[in-house]
Structure 1
Amino acid sequence: MIPALFAGLCDDAAVFPPGLAPLPDAVAAHDTHEKAWYADLVGPLVLAAPALGALGDLLGSRETPLPVAVTLPGGPAQLPGVLDAVAGLPVELRALEIAVPDGMGPDEVLDAVSAATAPVYVEIPRDDRRLPLLRALAGTGHRAKFRTGGVRAGLYPSEAELAAAICAAVDAGVPFKATAGLHHALRNTDPETGFEQHGFLNLLLAAGDPDHAEAHLAERDGEVVAGLVRRLDAGVRTRFTSFGTCSVSDPLTELAALGLLPRGEA
């Protein structure tokens, strides 16, 4: 049984680094997740727009639509092609995650995504457009997407920077998801790279208590974090909707180890 606090928390980003699962393997694994006892933990399969071209032959005459979220790394210019592609595929489009090209301002972004036929997550740039863009998204029904890591140390925002972004989203009433670098439940130092990595439960706490967001993002003690998470109301998920993970089994195992999911089933 997956508690409402964790329902749909883990978007299946198996094809992205560091997992880099081949597309056929990722689709097969996602189908397995959908039939497992923990199915309610798992969100859609996240694919980049160029991968849609390979789905036709792979899915064939599939009877049950594959739930997908599609990333548009090239920005809103890719939107018409993505909508055309999914219209001819046996998929259920759950979300569109759209990057913002350099130089594109908030009004241009909103105009460019107006044709979307699924919930839009606008990837918030780490520059002076962050606040104006979040304010522009307020009341539109669109959502924000924050990058929380990557293949270089500089791609990981500091605790202070990420806390400020979360607070700005909460203040604007804009739901957000997070992606990249969230390999563990808790704040940690990666032993291989030395990168300081955010924990997905730390983000959940920051969303629930933005006044202390930076402190929550810094906490590394599992007992402390688990205790605070148990006090959260599931309504916090209207703020922090999900995060992308290349391994569904890792967060499942770590949540169980922290006593937040049944150990016997994980």
Structure 2
Amino acid sequence: MLLTKVNVKWREEAVSHFMTELIDYAGLFPPAALPLSEAISNFHAYIHDSDSWMLGPFVIPASRLSELKPYKALFNDKYPLRLSVIFTKFEEIETEMEAIRHFLETYKTAGTIQAIEFPLPTQVNYSFLENLEKQTGSYPIYCEMKGTNDQFLNTLDTIHSINQKSLKRIGIKMRMGGITTNLFPTVNQAAFVIHECQKRELPLKFTAGLHHPIRQYRTEVKTRMHGFVNVFTASIMAYSRSVNTATIQAILHDEDPTNFSFTTDSLSWRDLTVSSAEIIKARSFFAASYGSCSFNEPREELGELTIFHGEAVR
């Protein structure tokens, strides 16, 4: 059960639209780095938990899909094993797509693929991305990018042009932290990515470093960790209100939880407010989800915050 001080039912609040399938479970990855048996056992428990509606897919490398066979009995068509599959490199796409097909043949209606995550090389061109789009079938794909801002913008422009001709949309995956300080992007870097993706209508998902709801200094990584409430509030405001980079930066920087508030049908940051309907639209088309090696920590810490109000905040 969620450890929460919220005196209302989550499912009826704007916060439910904010949190629906927000957390992709990445228990295989650091810092948890659990054995597959334990991570799968956790995911099985979570999908039967009263907070299962907050849970996204299980994140797994394509190279480990064959290891899932012994766990098939844990899942069924009502409670399937939903996966977001991480590919390695372009040369392996055919092999990794075959691994997906084999998983689906094994699991049948007890397993689904919700997305593919792909690490792009530093330099890519139109034909590379077009082939990537074609070879990954109908699955949504999120590309993790490297390189300078100019390279980044060129790739975003190319993805945007491909998306305009495609039935599916290529999105962007942004790393928000890790186990060492250097893996955490600055507020300015994160705001830049959010703003540029919003301008091009590119779906955006995040991974790593978002265990805590509000931005805060953490001794275990000796730096400030981004908060998932900050990141998704900034993304939702960018999508719904087309706020500028400076405002996105201000939301990401904010370490005062009282500047964020949920009412029955709205989310506010200071004097900016979005409705439940706008949250749903932004989450559906832009701010997809984030990968976390913990499902418990984010929801428990969010529940401890006093940012939930039954009526509109004045």
TM-score w.r.t. structure 1 length?
0.90
Q: 1:22 aligns with which of 31, 35, 38?
A: 35
The answer to whether 1:33 aligns with 2:79 is: no
1:236 maps to 282
Separation of aligned partners in 1, 2:225 and 2:267: 19
Q: 2:151 aligns with which of 113, 124, 129?
A: 129
Separation of aligned partners in 1, 2:290 and 2:19: 11
Contact kept, 8 Å, 1:204 with 1:236, in 2: the verdict is: no
Residues 205 and 21 (structure 1), Cα distance of their counterparts in 2 relative to 1, 3 Å cut: same
Query: Which segments of structure 1 move beyond 6 Å, counting only runs of 4 or more?
Result: none
Separation of aligned partners in 2, 1:169 and 1:229: 22
Could you list the per-position Cα deviations for residues 47-72 of structure 1 after superposition, in whole angstroms to 9, with x for gaps in the alignment? 01221121123336954441000111
**How many correspondences in the alignment?**
261
Unaligned runs of 5+ in 1: none
SS of match in other structure, 1:122: strand
Q: Cα offset for 1:84?
A: 1.1
Q: 2:204 aligns with which of 176, 187, 190?
A: 176
Q: Cα offset for 1:151?
A: 2.6
Residues 256 and 61 (structure 1), Cα distance of their counterparts in 2 relative to 1, 3 Å cut: closer
2:141 maps to 120
Q: Cα offset for 1:196?
A: 2.0
Separation of aligned partners in 1, 2:221 and 2:175: 18
Q: Cα offset for 1:259?
A: 4.4
Contact kept, 8 Å, 2:62 with 2:100, in 1: the verdict is: no
Residues 190 and 7 (structure 1), Cα distance of their counterparts in 2 relative to 1, 3 Å cut: same
More off after superposition, 100-109 vs 78-87: 100-109
The answer to whether 1:254 aligns with 2:301 is: yes
Report 1:195-210 matches (<5 A). Answer: 195-210=223-238
After superposition, the CA RMSD in angstroms is 2.1
Contact kept, 8 Å, 1:201 with 1:229, in 2: the verdict is: no
1:79 maps to 93
1:217 maps to 252
Task: Return the structure number with greater relative CO, CA threshold 8 A, min gap 6.
Answer: 2
Report 1:27-106 matches (<5 A). Answer: 27-59=40-72, 63-64=76-77, 65-72=80-87, 74-89=88-103, 90=107, 91-106=111-126
Residues 27 and 61 (structure 1), Cα distance of their counterparts in 2 relative to 1, 3 Å cut: closer
Separation of aligned partners in 1, 2:61 and 2:94: 14
How high is the sequence identity, in percent, across the aligned residues? 24
2:5 maps to none
Contact kept, 8 Å, 1:13 with 1:247, in 2: the verdict is: yes
SS of match in other structure, 1:129: helix
Contact kept, 8 Å, 1:76 with 1:113, in 2: the verdict is: no
2:3 maps to none
Q: Cα offset for 1:159?
A: 0.6
More off after superposition, 153-162 vs 135-144: 135-144
Contact kept, 8 Å, 1:99 with 1:123, in 2: the verdict is: yes
SS of match in other structure, 2:179: coil
SS of match in other structure, 1:183: coil
- Higher-Rg structure is 2
1:109 maps to 129
Separation of aligned partners in 1, 2:256 and 2:126: 39
